[in-house]
Structure 1
Amino acid sequence: MDNGVSDFYKMGVIGGNILMTNLKIGDIVARKSYDYDILFKVTDIVVDENNKRTLILKGTNLRIIADSPESDLTKVPLNKVNQFNKVFSKKITHIVKNILKERKENYYRSLTRSALEYSRDSNHFGRPGKVLHLDGDGEYIDVCLKVYEQLDIEAVGKIVSEEEQPKVVGKLLREYNPDILILTGHDSIIKGKDDFVDISNYKNSKYFVESIKEARKYEPSMDELVIFAGACQSFFEVMIEAGANYASSPHRTLVICRM
């Protein structure tokens, strides 16, 4: 499945007589050149010396930061945004149900015959690991915590910017003693840089690496503490070398959920 915005456009939910100029911070918009594939909130407006406006955008449902000329944007009215959010939420619920179903089926397959009857009687499917998740975006943390709850995963979410994560991760690990550490945020290759093996050419990769190293001081075992780290276009290799079990992004790709 795709994320549904393009389908909304085809059905007339997005498009028609919708404002395309005089956009302001807080407006919800979609990009014409990308076939209205993602909904964004305008978070900033930059005006150059020629009075040309470039809008800084943040995905409303998908984790992405972008910029766009105002001429490429279509404003989406609130009632249409609400319609899209309902469709998006249904898709998330469907995915969560499938994950829970698969988890249950995998657990039963792993049981011996002698344990199977006991497990069915006790309704016990094992305890997922406890998660500590750090990210600088409070809205994103809230979304993640809701999904963790749906998946019956014990989780603690903390709003911590990428550059602050190395300073606090050790303290938070000692405080919450998680099984899984997740370090996320935003990252990118700095514009105009083409040396992908120089960590200084990445916006936030160095902070993820420092955080991983601090976490491994707390727990060196990659089995006792599983670490997920990185963001769009992060320097994947150095995070794995630093001690992450899983990292993004192997091909410097944008990590965007497609459902």
Structure 2
Amino acid sequence: MQVKIGDIVGRRSYKCDLLFRVIDIKENDAGERIVILYGEDVRLIADAIYDDLVIVDQNERDSRKKKEDAKLEHSLYLLRQDYELLREKQEYVATSSYNYKEDFFYIPGRVLHLDGDKHYLQKCLALYEKIGVPVNGIHMSEKEMPNTIIDLLESYRPNILVVTGHDAYSKHKGDINDLNAYRHSKQFVETVRNARRKIPHLDQLVIFAGACQSHFESLIRAGANFASSPSRVNIHALDPVYIVAKISFTPFIERINVWDVLRNTLTREKGLGGVDTKGLLRTGMPYKKEPIEE
């Protein structure tokens, strides 16, 4: 079978360890067909020799999806468990140890999610909705992000900013500390730096930035609260959602231990890291279910 744009493929040389979408096929100077690939479940951009690719059939894809869904559900279970404990603790404090009964309303942190991959963005938006995190999602190329971020912050006024898409480290382009050896780390760093010029305080705007194999140290230095990837490994497409959901649902009077955030993700500390950060959830009362009569 011929490989074409849109196919889901694996790389023979890597024993088809990851699934990729074919984005483009072109010839290099040597006349070889080179295929540009986007990770199906990980935020990785790669290229491969055409003859190294094999189309993955629907049965194999369904089998992998079943395993992937089990991992996602476990992370979601941990997140919900944390949220219930936080909510009970918040209600205990707000009612003076349950000395009076009152209904509450909750205002979680609002998210602005910029994503270089439309497919991943839709996956993330679906999970945000399932969890209950208020979000605005915008698809744009990683190269557009640095120049548009300030206008977007002014328009949407988020509490949390996610800057993600695709990235990859290429050894043949330079040393692991050289930003020029990364696909989009430089653009992510510039976006974070520009956002911090607008909102310098780490607790007024919480930022997650990065994708697969991104330059973690530069992103943190630029002002990100959380970033990828400390060990230059691949991260899952949905990892940013699990991080910001934890922040969004933690009361603003509490600080979040970094490990408490990372343990709910699929990649954990090899792919993600960050600094202690305040939560953003605010509790209000009274909650009126019925409309007020005039």
Using the size of structure 1 for normalisation, the TM-score is 0.77
Equivalent AA in structure 2 for residue 65 of structure 1: I
1:53 aligned partner:
33
2:206 aligned partner:
226
Does 1:81 pair with 2:81? no
1:40 aligned partner:
20
Structure 1 residue aligned with 2:103, among 122, 131, 140? Answer: 122
| TM superposition shift of 1:173 | 0.8
Query: How many Å separate the matches in 1 of 2:56 and 2:173?
Result: 35
Q: Given the superposition, is the C-alpha separation of residues 246 and 109 from structure 1 closer, same or farther in structure 2, using an over 3 Å criterion?
A: same
Equivalent AA in structure 2 for residue 228 of structure 1: F
Contact 2:41 2:236 in 1 (8 A): no
Q: Could you give the per-residue CA deviations for residues 105-163 of structure 1, whole angstroms, max 9, x where no partner exists?
A: 23324644945648997375x43311101112111111111111111100111112111
Q: Given the superposition, is the C-alpha separation of residues 253 and 39 from structure 1 closer, same or farther in structure 2, using an over 3 Å criterion?
A: closer
Q: Secondary structure at the match of 2:122?
A: helix
Does 1:148 pair with 2:128? yes
| TM superposition shift of 1:198 | 3.5
Q: How many percent of aligned residue pairs carry the same amino acid?
A: 40
Bigger Cα displacement from structure 2, 156-165 vs 196-205: 196-205
Name stretches of at least 5 consecutive residues in structure 1 with no aligned partner: 1-20
Q: Given the superposition, is the C-alpha separation of residues 118 and 91 from structure 1 closer, same or farther in structure 2, using an over 3 Å criterion?
A: farther
Does 1:247 pair with 2:236? no
Contact 2:43 2:211 in 1 (8 A): no
Equivalent AA in structure 1 for residue 103 of structure 2: S
| TM superposition shift of 1:207 | 1.7
Query: How many Å separate the matches in 2 of 1:120 and 1:79?
Result: 53
Does 1:235 pair with 2:215? yes
The alignment's C-alpha RMSD in Å is 3.0
Contact 1:209 1:238 in 2 (8 A): yes
2:240 aligned partner:
none
Q: Secondary structure at the match of 1:221?
A: coil
Contact 1:233 1:249 in 2 (8 A): yes
Bigger Cα displacement from structure 2, 163-172 vs 46-55: 46-55
Structure 1 residue aligned with 2:78, among 92, 95, 98? Answer: 98
1:203 aligned partner:
183
2:46 aligned partner:
66
Contact 1:130 1:178 in 2 (8 A): yes
Q: Secondary structure at the match of 1:108?
A: helix
Query: How many Å separate the matches in 2 of 1:221 and 1:34?
Result: 43
Using the size of structure 2 for normalisation, the TM-score is 0.69
Pairs aligned (count): 238
Contact 1:64 1:256 in 2 (8 A): no
Contact 2:46 2:168 in 1 (8 A): no
Contact 1:108 1:116 in 2 (8 A): no
Q: Could you give the per-residue CA deviations for residues 162-215 of structure 1, whole angstroms, max 9, x where no partner exists?
A: 111111111111111111011112223345233333333433222222211221
Equivalent AA in structure 1 for residue 112 of structure 2: L
Q: Could you give the per-residue CA deviations for residues 52-73 of structure 1, whole angstroms, max 9, x where no partner exists?
A: 4333222223322223334433
Q: Secondary structure at the match of 2:137?
A: strand
Query: How many Å separate the matches in 2 of 1:184 and 1:127?
Result: 25
Q: Which has the higher contact order (CA 8 A, sep 6+)?
A: 2
1:177 aligned partner:
157
Q: Secondary structure at the match of 1:95?
A: helix
Contact 1:96 1:150 in 2 (8 A): no
Name stretches of at least 5 consecutive residues in structure 2 with no aligned partner: 238-265, 268-294
Contact 1:188 1:203 in 2 (8 A): yes
